[in-house]
Chains A and B, each alone.
Chain A
């Protein structure tokens, strides 16, 4: 399974954009990058996923580098409710497994 590397923690001011980086240098050509977040004591919440093109939905934007070795999740206007642990995961093409790493703990402050 392709591994991902994320910074353990980040801070962001409320209303500002939160940019969460992720390295996945061993990703295969047909593997997707998924982002989930987990708020304390809840199940992970799906945010976005992509293969090679940049993606945007109502929650966030996903920017994937051309070589696909890294990506950035962008929360355009962070709110206090966005405080959570964010997980960047490479989905295994054959098994569909999602193997979670340690994630980034994002703290949004007033």
Chain B
């Protein structure tokens, strides 16, 4: 079964509003989570690294004020898309590391579809 869960699976919101996506590690504590976005027929693009108890680290070109990431506990990270616009419509995916270390598995969530109308 899934070890990383995202909620909601899909969401439709109006332009200008904010929407929050949750990423939970179900049976382990994840000190580090990652957020990706994926446009149709394209590969996953890493947006940011989320570390529990500290500020997220954003990849170049990703607006940190638009994509707010909070990693308040060892099992939950949230991505808030603020003032959403139609171009923010995308598939958002999170991943979590069970234990730090180069040989350990990184698990992905099921993804969340965001449509901004």
A45–B111 CB distance below 8 A: no
Chain A residue nearest in CB terms to B36: A100
A51 to B49, CA, bound (A): 23
B102–A96 CB distance below 8 A: yes
* Residue from A31, A36, A43 in contact with B110 in the complex, judged by beta carbons closer than 8 Å: A43
A96–B108 CB distance below 8 A: no
A91–B102 CB distance below 8 A: yes
A32–B102 CB distance below 8 A: yes
Q: Give the contact-size bracket for chain B.
A: 20 to 34
* Residue from A34, A49, A100 in contact with B43 in the complex, judged by beta carbons closer than 8 Å: A100
| Chain B contact surface mostly | strand
* Residue from B44, B49, B100, B102 in contact with A44 in the complex, judged by beta carbons closer than 8 Å: B44
Q: Which of B71-100 contact A (CB under 8 A)?
A: 91, 93, 95, 97, 100
Chain B residue nearest in CB terms to A87: B43
A87 to B93, CA, bound (A): 15
Residues in A whose Cβ lies below 8 Å from that of B95: 44, 98
Chain A residue nearest in CB terms to B91: A41
B111–A43 CB distance below 8 A: yes
A97–B49 CB distance below 8 A: yes
Task: Please report B residues at the A interface, Cβ cutoff 8 Å.
Answer: 4, 6, 32, 34, 36, 43-46, 49, 91, 93, 95, 97, 100, 102-103, 105-111, 113
Would you mind naming 25 contact pairs between A and B with Cβ atoms under 8 Å apart? A31-B102, A32-B103, A34-B106, A41-B91, A41-B111, A41-B113, A42-B110, A43-B4, A43-B6, A43-B93, A43-B109, A43-B110, A44-B93, A45-B108, A46-B106, A46-B107, A46-B108, A49-B103, A95-B49, A96-B100, A98-B106, A99-B46, A100-B45, A102-B43, A103-B43
Task: Please report A residues at the B interface, Cβ cutoff 8 Å.
Answer: 30-32, 34, 36, 38, 41-46, 49, 51, 87, 91, 93, 95-103
The 3 A-B pairs with the shortest beta carbon distances in the complex, nearest first, are A43-B108, A100-B44, A43-B111
